[in-house]
Amino acid sequence: MYKPDQNFTDIANKFADNIYKTTKGRLRLAVLQQDLTNQGLVAGQNQAIAPQRILDIGAGLGHMSVWLAQQGHHLTAVEVAPNMVESAKVFAQQLAAEVDFHCQPAQDFIRAYQGEQFDWLICHAVLEWIAEPQAFVDYLFKVLKPGGKLSIMFFNNTAKLIGNLLYGNFDYINSGMRAKKQVRLSPNYPQEPQQVYTWLERYGKIVHKRGVRCFHDYMIDRTMWHSHFEQIVEQELAVSDSEPFISMGKYIHVVVEKHSN
């Protein structure tokens, strides 16, 4: 029996405002979409793509599910917060995107799933809210077919440490970076990258890594977040797929190809 995990049922509007309406959220989405484009999920000029069966775990307000459905893929989206699912359905309808939405915990969906396995599994900004993250990773691979790919992005504890060092929050660091009062949108379980890589490599080969927001959040002049946003995206994409920038990313995006046997 797994422990209860965080969800955003009672703060969906705050979640939308603080994630999707900021340069942080826009940058995150731009980087992820570019990565998935590079992985062959978007048709190039005069080049068709085969529709993929994709499962989006923790689909939130549906931004990634809808975008992938618009590329011609078959989307199943799972989200535990009912009001977020309803908003995602409206968003999908507005853009005429066909997405099969399920409102339930991901673990319950996977346990009950009886269909064929998925070609791709998307799991972005979920792992850091899960009480038992290693067991959750195990669940994800249960519904991914051999040779299929997992796109997983998680909140990076190394970057959390870097940020607090830069701000001189030494007492907070010495306390193990445990806050006296939990901030609702501050991830409960930041992940150690090497630990996550180890969990993933039990099931497949890591074929891509990228730091997400590897310098954006550290910029001294934050007015540039808005005035130079396109240049920030360009520079993030230019440097964030190699070290030390991967480990500096507030999030790390990893693509894993599941073993064929």
pLDDT tens-digit map of 23-48: 999 999 999 999 999 999 998 877 78
- Looking at residue 74, its pLDDT comes to 98
pLDDT band for 187, please (50, 70, 90 cuts).
Answer: confident
pLDDT band for 203, please (50, 70, 90 cuts).
Answer: very high
The answer to which of 50-54, 75-79, 152-156, 161-165 has the lowest mean pLDDT is 161-165
- Looking at residue 15, its pLDDT comes to 53
| Element holding 10 (H helix, E strand) | none
d(CA 117, CA 26): 31
The DSSP output letter for 95 is: T
| pTM higher than the cut 0.85 | yes
Average pLDDT, rounded, for the chain = 91
> What is each CA distance from 135 to 2, 127, 139, in whole angstroms?
9, 10, 6
d(CA 54, CA 64): 11
Mean pLDDT to the nearest integer, 88-100: 97
- Looking at residue 21, its pLDDT comes to 79
